[in-house]
Structure 1
Amino acid sequence: MTKAEADSVDLAQQEARAWLLRLRSGQAGPADAAAFGEWCADHPQTAQLLRETWGSLRTAAAEIAQEERASGRSWAGVARRERAVRTGRRAFVGFAVAAGASWLALRPPMQLWPSLGDMAADYYTGTGEQRRVALSDRVSVEMNTQTRLDVLPTRVAARGVELVDGEAEFDAAAPAAGRVAPLQPVTVVAGKGRMQAQVARFNVRRTGAEVCVTCVSGWLVLDHPVQRSRGDLTLRAGEQVTYDDRHVRPVTRTDAAAVTAWRRGVLVFNGVPLSEVIDEINRYRPGKVVLRNAALGQNRIQAQFPITRLDDVLDMMGRLYGARVMRLPGNIVLLS
């Protein structure tokens, strides 16, 4: 292939990506569909590649939707939209035009951009983003990826937040020397649990209904409806508790440094199934990694990964387990 031919192919591929973005924008109309048809006629080879890519994306999207339904987090009408997707340019254009902006805003595919719920939160972080928030002169929050925080009304707590989703580390520092005023505890609500601490550092992770609280230093008190008959539960440094709406599991000792390794830009896995490793990678990496081999997902991992090198980690997994790693547009990766 000559340089001119290569440049022509590159230009056509750039135009194809531009068409994909335009047709998925939710603002495309009949004129766009007609123009896209003319472009396909002028670039038959690239158009065929685009259709084949869309076929692979459609397969991945169906698997992602199945995962969402299995976890009880499916969005309205997804089955109808899946049935509407068929091979060929007409179905592709029709699906892209029909995918309205309201649906994409409520449930962004693979979290490619913030949802309306994210933007409505007082504080939020996107995929792979970390953020520090100062709640007062001595209380700060380090927010991990895909995290939402809402400030509690003063009638609920004078100084407090609700962890709506995600993970955050709270640091209530010791008062300055010479301070005589009484300390106001920081309050953190996550699910049915309510935590209070005066001087402590603790990590809270909420995934769906399950919440995991780890005390890094100092101590904190957990109030939960299930626990009230036995009194409040106190966590001290190196202790961890997990709860949901109906259960509070026994307090255990844990490696707090491993829990908070994300603060150092590292993910630590100690005998964790590969399927859970993939779930964790999807929290930090834009796009979506789809595990298509259930047996592969049962392998247990003992490793530490830099958050900035997650694509290299996927390639390493492919070599380690003889798995096929297929990369698609939109940062979608099929692991099988």
Structure 2
Amino acid sequence: MTKARVDLSTDTAEDPHEQASQWLLRLRSGAASHADADAFRDWCAKEPAQAALLSGTWSALRTAAEEIAQEVAEEKRIGVSSWADAALRRRKVNTGRRAFVGFAVAAGASWLALRPPLGLWPSVGDLAADYRTGTGEQRQFALSERVTVELNTQTRVNLVSTRTAGRGIELVAGEAEIHAAAPAPAQAAYLRPVTVVAGRGRIEAAVARVNIRKMGDQVCVTCLSGTAMLDHPIRRASLRAQEQVIYDDRRVHPISTADAAQVTAWRRGVLVFDGVPVSQVVAEINRYRPGKVILRNATLARNRMQAQFPIAKVDDVLDMLAKLYGAHVTRLPGDIVLLS
């Protein structure tokens, strides 16, 4: 059965909230196509007053959907049997929120929680993690008296059961730095390595600092100090300080030398681009800023960029792309930016 597309060009909805509902229905695949982005841009140009109102609506939708996702995650933990059962537990929501919840049910609330359009708010998977960071957020927690974990932006971590892997974590997505300090002399005989599961790999380190980054099924492990061991179904690899290995589900790349200062730049609040394609620059920007930057120019995507920027000023990167390569920057409601 072919799914009907929502056509906003006919202006069938006059209320900005209803138009926001229709746009979310159009974006329910989880990623806007070029045609969708063009249509949204044209609509904003045609209806500037409503587009301005829509900016506030996007913010409200994001807030409401975050709350919905949090509730779904909580219901997942306690075992609520269905969305209908869950709805009965939310009768006392305020009037404004009720309107958005009603919209969410009509649009498919489970989809809103599981697959937020353009990643504009956290999914249930994000919120169900033992530890997580939002866009642009960093946080630290202690795994034990001598092991600390620093999480970069958009990172999800689950604790690993001591019955299966000792004291450790699973890096579901994102980036983390693990610091396993040396034990006190009296406890040296009882030293146990910290374990990090990432994809199909398992990294163990007794006394070390290790940075691990997981994007999709690709994992990059950098040993900053001490030593670390990677156990992968393909092969095992031992890493010393300043060494790095990249792997995915199917292969383990050769060990290479790493620039520790560049790998840990995020700990200093800096983004470093060293001859990186613009497509990769945009992907990195999207990890640190709300909304979404959509790259629509294949030629621009292939250009390489060398620069450093404070994380707090990632939008300056977009201005530099405009100056260096003549990129056209279109800013839309919801912190959506088109680069063409």
Please, what TM-score do these two structures have when normalized by structure 1? Answer: 0.72
Distance 2:17 2:115 in 1: 22
3-state DSSP class of the match of 1:312? helix
Is 1:113 aligned to 2:121, yes or no? yes
The residue number in structure 2 matching 1:198 is 206
Of 270, 289, 305, the residue aligned with 2:274 is 270
The residue number in structure 2 matching 1:49 is 48
Amino acid across the alignment from 2:161: P
Of 294, 301, 318, the residue aligned with 1:297 is 301
The residue number in structure 2 matching 1:32 is none
Distance 1:187 1:50 in 2: 54
3-state DSSP class of the match of 1:150? strand
Q: CA deviation at 1:97?
A: 8.1
Please provide the CA RMSD for this pair: 2.8
The residue number in structure 2 matching 1:255 is 259
| Alpha-carbon distance change, 46 to 323 in structure 1, aligned in 2, over 3 angstroms | closer
- Residue 201 of structure 1 contacts residue 217 of structure 1 at CA under 8 Å; is this kept in 2? yes
Distance 1:46 1:302 in 2: 34
Amino acid across the alignment from 1:48: E
Please, what TM-score do these two structures have when normalized by structure 2? Answer: 0.71
**What do residues 122-153 of structure 1 show as CA deviations (whole Å, max 9, x unaligned)?**
11111111110110000011001111111111
Q: CA deviation at 1:176?
A: 2.6
**What do residues 184-236 of structure 1 show as CA deviations (whole Å, max 9, x unaligned)?**
11000101100111000010011111110000000011111100xxxx31101
Q: CA deviation at 1:256?
A: 1.2
**What do residues 209-268 of structure 1 show as CA deviations (whole Å, max 9, x unaligned)?**
1110000000011111100xxxx3110110000001110110000101101100111111
Listed as ranges, the gaps of 5+ residues in structure 2 are 1-14, 26-43, 55-102
Distance 1:200 1:97 in 2: 48
Q: CA deviation at 1:177?
A: 4.5
Of 155, 176, 190, the residue aligned with 2:163 is 155
Q: How many residues align?
A: 261
Amino acid across the alignment from 2:195: T
Map residues 317-336 of structure 1 onto 2, 5 A cutoff.
317-336=321-340
Q: CA deviation at 1:272?
A: 0.6
The residue number in structure 2 matching 1:236 is 240
Map residues 84-99 of structure 1 onto 2, 5 A cutoff.
98-99=106-107
Q: CA deviation at 1:158?
A: 1.8
Map residues 124-135 of structure 1 onto 2, 5 A cutoff.
124-135=132-143
Amino acid across the alignment from 1:273: P
The residue number in structure 1 matching 2:219 is 211
Distance 1:258 1:17 in 2: 45
Taking every aligned residue pair, what percent have the same amino acid on both sides?
Answer: 63
The residue number in structure 1 matching 2:183 is 175
Distance 2:206 2:105 in 1: 53
The residue number in structure 2 matching 1:123 is 131
**What do residues 269-303 of structure 1 show as CA deviations (whole Å, max 9, x unaligned)?**
11110111000100111100011110011110111
Is 1:311 aligned to 2:315, yes or no? yes
- Residue 205 of structure 2 contacts residue 227 of structure 2 at CA under 8 Å; is this kept in 1? yes
**What do residues 28-84 of structure 1 show as CA deviations (whole Å, max 9, x unaligned)?**
xxxxxxxxxxxxxxxxx99933667899xxxxxxxxxxxxxxxxxxxxxxxxxxxxx
Listed as ranges, the gaps of 5+ residues in structure 1 are 1-15, 27-44, 56-94
